[in-house]
Structure 1
Amino acid sequence: MLHAKTLISLAALSLLSPLAMSASAASAGVAAAPAEAASAARQPITRADQLPRRTVTLTKLPSEYLSAPLSELLAMGAQLEAEVKSDLARYDIQDASTLRSYYSALASLAQLRGDWAAVPAWTAKSRALQEKIGGQLSAGLLTDLLSQQRLEKRDAAWLRAEVEKRYSALPWADVQENVKSGKGGAETYNPELVLGAFRSQIDAMATNGKMVVPDSIALAIISNRLQAELFAPNKAAIVAGLQAVIDANTKTQARADLWTPRTFAIPAEAKATPVVVAVWDSGVDLALFKPAAPLAGLAFDEDAKPSRELLRPLGEAQSRWPQLRSLIKGAMDQRAALDTPDSRQFRATMSGLKAEQVKGFSEDMSLTSLYVHGTHVAGIAVEGNPFARVFAATQLWSAKLEPKLPNEAQARATALAYGQMVESFKKAGVRVVNMSWRYGPSAYEGALAFHNAGGTPEARKAEASRLFKIERDALRAAIAGAPEILFVAGSGNEDNSADFQEYIPAGFELPNLITAGAVDTAGQETSFSTFGKTVVVHANGFEVDSFVPGGARMKLSGTSMASPQVANLAAKLIALKPALKAVEVKALILQGAERMKGADGQPGRVNLIHPRKSAELAGIRL
């Protein structure tokens, strides 16, 4: 949860969905900007780091609040709500996803006070800011129903019927992903899982901070305590209602596949030139690919020191690999709203965990994700290109839950490693680099908070920004200093803005870098795909089939799977037209892309790449 570096296809995989929802609102003091306030009178907020930081003092460990009477959380909730109201007239927050999370927080605070009638107004404000059709129709609906149940003193049978009724009334084609993922999330809800995560991470943060925690933790406590109060007694009813909606639509015709007809493969006998593709990731099983020669790769460990391991070793977890592989597949299927044998096994495992098992399970999942990720990405990047050669650019990021304490020496070592990695690309003749990872200053801010380092919350924010800037500037300079190489970044899986959060590399604007978001095979933006002004193209990131270490194949979803589709196209164009410059390849990809229409029939933000059209624009006959 607090890793300094996060792989995109795993970033949305949260073992604590209420925590994940709450944390996004917290760093700003859960402030919101009301529609009635004059924009000119408020301070514009264009980046997340411009928002104020606040703390809450606890009287007991966070995990102890999970079973405490709601009355013991009222003072905490009142403080948060007072801070919201004091900020209402101060800020013009120019980011819809951030505002959505604030309004959702206000809905939770109204629930805490038992003001059930006030909840729908806040969820409606949040829903109005949704930018994807599924969210516009269904976001906050379950929160409204649970509040209505309490207000009208209804039973679980009423709730089950209302869930089925309300969701059935929505257009299935637009909300199916939301309904399926909602049902899967409901099935995995497990109070023991929440308790274990709190004990293994959140309690440690509170103890380190002498019971003074970021307001994100206070909001997470309230959200999870409300889950136990409102959701847990109704879990079976909610799952049954959503399942009835899914069952009623099992024969609904699938959307047309727009993606596959756009793709092409290069025949082995074609007149083409070998092209080196670097997979800057968590490690690659080079035995499955044609490696670059004479330099096949370069690796750095979690301390940014050189390593010999181009593929991360599983260590003592190797014996659990078959089980862990299935769980990772299930976790990805779960996030992609797919009901598969693997996702069902994942849900069963999650719902059966005991508190004392959570830490080990979470670290196993993190380790396996890192083990799988780079090889899967590499397979996508070279699919259909017999002239591709793979360079493994390996970052052996930590799989531990507890973050290391950030410091300047580490930041400068990371900055140096970035430069060395790009220099190795030049020596190896790399023409395309895929980067399916991202992080921002919030990663360092969270790690500093965990260790109670960096001073006051505002000083901590400044220190996180300072350390992040060292790495950000080094990475940007390294990429800009390699104009002959095209870098492809994945946007992220948080359904937020890559530029507002200042993610790197996704937030960079450079002539030789292109950032991709994810769509499904029908060209519809996935519910998880991060967006923003720097996300200029989209590609299929839904259930993409590729290799995992050892040679087995697996379908995974995420913008990590979309980004290498763009890298794949770039590598094919260069193999067939080796004289093309990086900026020319980028231009061909953009010129060939098709701006898809939104729900209103007007051109939307999805700009779907069209490999065949880009090849034709390059003068390539297929």
Structure 2
Amino acid sequence: MTNFRLLLLLPLLLLPLASCKKNEAATSAQAPAKKAVHTLDDLPRHTYPLDGKAVSLFDSAPKANALADAVQKDIEADLATYDVEDTTTLKKLKGTLLAIAILKDDTETALRLIREIRDLETKPSAKLVTGLVSETRLTVGQVSSYSQMGPNFSLSAAFREALAAKVAAMPWNVVQAEVKDLKGSFEIRSENLIRGVVESEIEPAVAKTHTLSADTAARLLSLRAFLLYSLPLKADVVAVLSDAVAKHQTKKPDIWAARNLDLSREKNLVPVPVGIWDSGVDLPLYKGNVETGGDNAPAVIAFDLHSNLVTGPLFPIAPADQKRLPEMKNQIKGFLDLRAAVDSPEATEVKKKTSSIPQDQVKPYLEDLELFGNYAHGTHVAGIAVAGNPAARLVVGRITFDYHMIPEVPTVEQAVKDVESYKQTVAFFRARRVRVVNMSWGGDLRSIEDALEANGVGKDAADRAKTARKIFDIGRDGLLDALRSAPDILFVTAAGNSDNDVAFDEVIPSSFILPNLITVGAVDQAGDETSFTSFGKNVSVYADGFEVKSKIPGGTVMPFSGTSMASPNVANLAAKLFALDPALSPLDAAALIRDGADPSPSDSRILLMNPARSFALLKARHQK
């Protein structure tokens, strides 16, 4: 299907460096007014010629410096011309300027950029941890220049001491997840892994077009900076952060148990069909919670990657891949354990694998992770959606998601077929009298542009933007119409895991504003906003999306993180409200969920779902 992806937070291996630089251009009274930027699509696209392979930028300083100069010139011109208020976009654009400052050995600018990104951050943990390693390295005068680093460089005792002191001074209850993520990301990165990703994802397009988009150019420059100046610090950073984790064994308090609404012993519940519009569900795991038809068959509608009707509630795994499922599961568990700083055999194996993986094995290795993530996702979501509700009856709408590093080429024809599948799926849910549907997936305009570039389609970035807009609008309008056609269903969708404003980036369906739609962000067990959750005016309620335990195919219980896990927690509450009072409309249920939510203990901006309070509001409603 075109452009949609699951919203499970798998480890983010290759994020570019992030930072911000205040725009100092055009500040005089005579300067022309900047052009307003309402969405990400309002910004111009840039294209850069590249002679040779993309990895040559890692090995040739003159070539990399020439690209850096061109990219820096365009970014500074855009910041002078456009009024960019979106903080995520500023961090991405100016994060590239940070990478360039590092490559140019400009310590003063790099330090200023690190400070300024913290001014943009609203999430308390990110405000504290952003730039932690780079700032420490830059401010300890023992190494005054990046150029002193080599492949065998190791942080001195002074660097370790300074880094440890910075971490120790931070409130652990605020930063622990960020610190653990940082530790895990360093543990899995290696030069072969990075070069293998570039070889698999970027080189095929470069071989066809001999160009780079601005996004790809920025990614390559950031990766060059990481390879030269951060990767040599791996052992020292991991040692310091591991020591910090070991010193803090206490966990955050869990606020969710006190808010729980368990209907397991409740009588007179009305069965509630619950739609799981996802990658498929291992239904035998949820016997007693499955909706069946007159032939006693499970209620399932399924589509393949090209939106053709197929059968089966769970994505079929090829026989050759079936044999490797235990290995894939261990890989996923290892990555999840690393993110949580859990010292397990699986985590040890992942560290060993990613540190020594040959470049030609990177592509199949990462595609296995994505394949298993797709395979497990819907089953995990379904378990969250039906927990504590014997009245829930699962109705499956199965989508097939692409798991390849280079996805299929997006086309208008495929977008039209996708829209038809949305309409059929929603009609199927309505025919089965589904009351609430969970949608833990989404897509955006830029991902279509990325897919076009990855396949070498289009003469330049601007040309791809026009094609992507046409394709995206077909899918967006079709999905919006499908949801509007079912006012009798409450749709619950995940906000996304890109730490972005869903409206500005035009993420669908989480940017939709509909009376029968709730968009959900993710917090952790203490109610603190996760570092990954997307946000914006469209995100009305937050739920637990951090290391949430549920079953995967076969029955193993695993903790997954992502807004994918937060969304079915809200769908779970909606289904319970419908089971208690089937006369509720979708608008009634949505109001009870929103009105029952209360501010996070750490941030009043974040409204947390509170099932117990929503239940109390329902009881009060009945007493009137």
Common fold by TM > 0.5: yes
User: What is the alpha-carbon distance in structure 2 between the residues aligned to residue 119 and residue 417 of structure 1?
Assistant: 49
**Does the 8 Å contact 1:44/1:92 carry over to 2?**
yes
- 1:241-260 alpha-carbon deviations (Å, 9 max, x no partner): 2222223323xx43322111
Counterpart position of 1:196:
196
- 1:390-428 alpha-carbon deviations (Å, 9 max, x no partner): 011100112222211111110100011111110000111
The letter of the residue matching 1:232 is: L
User: What is the alpha-carbon distance in structure 2 between the residues aligned to residue 227 and residue 261 of structure 1?
Assistant: 44
**Does the 8 Å contact 1:543/1:555 carry over to 2?**
yes
User: What is the alpha-carbon distance in structure 2 between the residues aligned to residue 437 and residue 381 of structure 1?
Assistant: 15
By how many angstroms is 1:71 displaced? 3.2
By how many angstroms is 1:148 displaced? 4.1
Counterpart position of 1:293:
292
Counterpart position of 2:27:
37
SS at match of 1:156: coil
By how many angstroms is 1:354 displaced? 1.4
Q: Does 1:568 align with 2:572?
A: yes
Q: Residue 399 and residue 129 in structure 1: after superposition, are their counterparts in 2 closer, same or farther (change >3 A)?
A: same
By how many angstroms is 1:232 displaced? 2.5
By how many angstroms is 1:64 displaced? 2.8
- Stretch of structure 1 that moved more, 146-155 or 441-450: 146-155
Aligned-residue RMSD, C-alpha = 2.3
Counterpart position of 2:50:
58
By how many angstroms is 1:140 displaced? 1.2
**Does the 8 Å contact 2:492/2:520 carry over to 1?**
yes
Counterpart position of 1:208:
208
User: What is the alpha-carbon distance in structure 1 between the residues aligned to residue 421 and residue 311 of structure 2?
Assistant: 14
Q: Residue 277 and residue 541 in structure 1: after superposition, are their counterparts in 2 closer, same or farther (change >3 A)?
A: same
**Does the 8 Å contact 1:31/1:83 carry over to 2?**
no
- Stretch of structure 1 that moved more, 256-265 or 374-383: 256-265
User: What is the alpha-carbon distance in structure 2 between the residues aligned to residue 46 and residue 37 of structure 1?
Assistant: 21
**Does the 8 Å contact 1:189/1:351 carry over to 2?**
yes
Q: Residue 214 and residue 171 in structure 1: after superposition, are their counterparts in 2 closer, same or farther (change >3 A)?
A: same
Counterpart position of 1:220:
219
User: What is the alpha-carbon distance in structure 2 between the residues aligned to residue 72 and residue 425 of structure 1?
Assistant: 55
Counterpart position of 2:130:
139
Structure 1 segment 310-459 matched on structure 2, within 5 A:
310-315=313-318, 316-335=320-339, 340-459=344-463
User: What is the alpha-carbon distance in structure 1 between the residues aligned to residue 533 and residue 32 of structure 2?
Assistant: 32
Counterpart position of 2:3:
4
User: What is the alpha-carbon distance in structure 2 between the residues aligned to residue 374 and residue 76 of structure 1?
Assistant: 42
By how many angstroms is 1:336 displaced? 5.1
Q: Does 1:245 align with 2:235?
A: no
Counterpart position of 2:612:
612
By how many angstroms is 1:338 displaced? 5.1
SS at match of 2:488: coil
**Does the 8 Å contact 2:271/2:579 carry over to 1?**
yes
**Does the 8 Å contact 1:275/1:430 carry over to 2?**
yes
User: What is the alpha-carbon distance in structure 1 between the residues aligned to residue 330 and residue 578 of structure 2?
Assistant: 36
Structure 1 segment 449-488 matched on structure 2, within 5 A:
449-488=453-492
Counterpart position of 2:109:
118
Counterpart position of 1:73:
64
SS at match of 1:454: coil
- 1:97-128 alpha-carbon deviations (Å, 9 max, x no partner): 11122222111111111212221111111121
The letter of the residue matching 1:265 is: D
**Structure 1: runs of 5+ lacking an equivalent:** none
The letter of the residue matching 1:200 is: S
**Does the 8 Å contact 2:2/2:418 carry over to 1?**
no
Q: Residue 63 and residue 347 in structure 1: after superposition, are their counterparts in 2 closer, same or farther (change >3 A)?
A: same
Please, which of 80, 93, 101 is the counterpart of residue 84 of structure 2? 93
**Does the 8 Å contact 2:180/2:339 carry over to 1?**
no
By how many angstroms is 1:293 displaced? 2.0
User: What is the alpha-carbon distance in structure 2 between the residues aligned to residue 547 and residue 246 of structure 1?
Assistant: 28
- 1:131-173 alpha-carbon deviations (Å, 9 max, x no partner): 1111111201212233446426696213222211222222222
User: What is the alpha-carbon distance in structure 1 between the residues aligned to residue 344 and residue 364 of structure 2?
Assistant: 25
User: What is the alpha-carbon distance in structure 2 between the residues aligned to residue 447 and residue 349 of structure 1?
Assistant: 28
Counterpart position of 1:274:
271
- 1:288-347 alpha-carbon deviations (Å, 9 max, x no partner): 223212161100111011111320122121111122112212323444565555444333
SS at match of 1:104: helix
**Does the 8 Å contact 1:100/1:127 carry over to 2?**
no
SS at match of 2:619: coil
- 1:531-552 alpha-carbon deviations (Å, 9 max, x no partner): 1111110111112111111122
**Does the 8 Å contact 2:21/2:117 carry over to 1?**
no
SS at match of 1:9: coil
User: What is the alpha-carbon distance in structure 2 between the residues aligned to residue 557 and residue 460 of structure 1?
Assistant: 33
Q: Residue 126 and residue 407 in structure 1: after superposition, are their counterparts in 2 closer, same or farther (change >3 A)?
A: same
**Does the 8 Å contact 1:31/1:87 carry over to 2?**
no
**Does the 8 Å contact 1:260/1:521 carry over to 2?**
no
Please, which of 496, 502, 507 is the counterpart of residue 503 of structure 1? 507
Counterpart position of 1:264:
261
Counterpart position of 2:144:
151
The letter of the residue matching 2:472 is: F
Q: Residue 350 and residue 180 in structure 1: after superposition, are their counterparts in 2 closer, same or farther (change >3 A)?
A: same
By how many angstroms is 1:36 displaced? 7.5
By how many angstroms is 1:561 displaced? 0.7
- 1:468-492 alpha-carbon deviations (Å, 9 max, x no partner): 1111111111111101100000111
Q: Residue 501 and residue 181 in structure 1: after superposition, are their counterparts in 2 closer, same or farther (change >3 A)?
A: same
Size of the alignment, in residue pairs?
A: 604
Query: TM-score, structure 1 length as denominator?
Result: 0.93
- Stretch of structure 1 that moved more, 234-243 or 470-479: 234-243
Counterpart position of 1:490:
494
Counterpart position of 1:177:
177
Q: Residue 336 and residue 462 in structure 1: after superposition, are their counterparts in 2 closer, same or farther (change >3 A)?
A: farther
**Does the 8 Å contact 2:13/2:185 carry over to 1?**
no
By how many angstroms is 1:560 displaced? 0.6
Counterpart position of 1:518:
522
**Does the 8 Å contact 1:159/1:238 carry over to 2?**
no
User: What is the alpha-carbon distance in structure 1 between the residues aligned to residue 2 and residue 68 of structure 2?
Assistant: 28
Q: Residue 422 and residue 610 in structure 1: after superposition, are their counterparts in 2 closer, same or farther (change >3 A)?
A: same
User: What is the alpha-carbon distance in structure 1 between the residues aligned to residue 343 and residue 128 of structure 2?
Assistant: 22
Counterpart position of 2:100:
109
User: What is the alpha-carbon distance in structure 1 between the residues aligned to residue 103 and residue 46 of structure 2?
Assistant: 20
- 1:163-201 alpha-carbon deviations (Å, 9 max, x no partner): 112222222222111111111111111111111111112
- Stretch of structure 1 that moved more, 92-101 or 277-286: 92-101
**Does the 8 Å contact 1:445/1:460 carry over to 2?**
yes
**Does the 8 Å contact 1:178/1:337 carry over to 2?**
no
Counterpart position of 1:544:
548
Q: Residue 175 and residue 37 in structure 1: after superposition, are their counterparts in 2 closer, same or farther (change >3 A)?
A: farther
Q: Identity of aligned pairs, percent?
A: 36
User: What is the alpha-carbon distance in structure 2 between the residues aligned to residue 548 and residue 94 of structure 1?
Assistant: 41
User: What is the alpha-carbon distance in structure 2 between the residues aligned to residue 449 and residue 543 of structure 1?
Assistant: 34
Query: TM-score, structure 2 length as denominator?
Result: 0.92
**Does the 8 Å contact 1:595/1:607 carry over to 2?**
yes
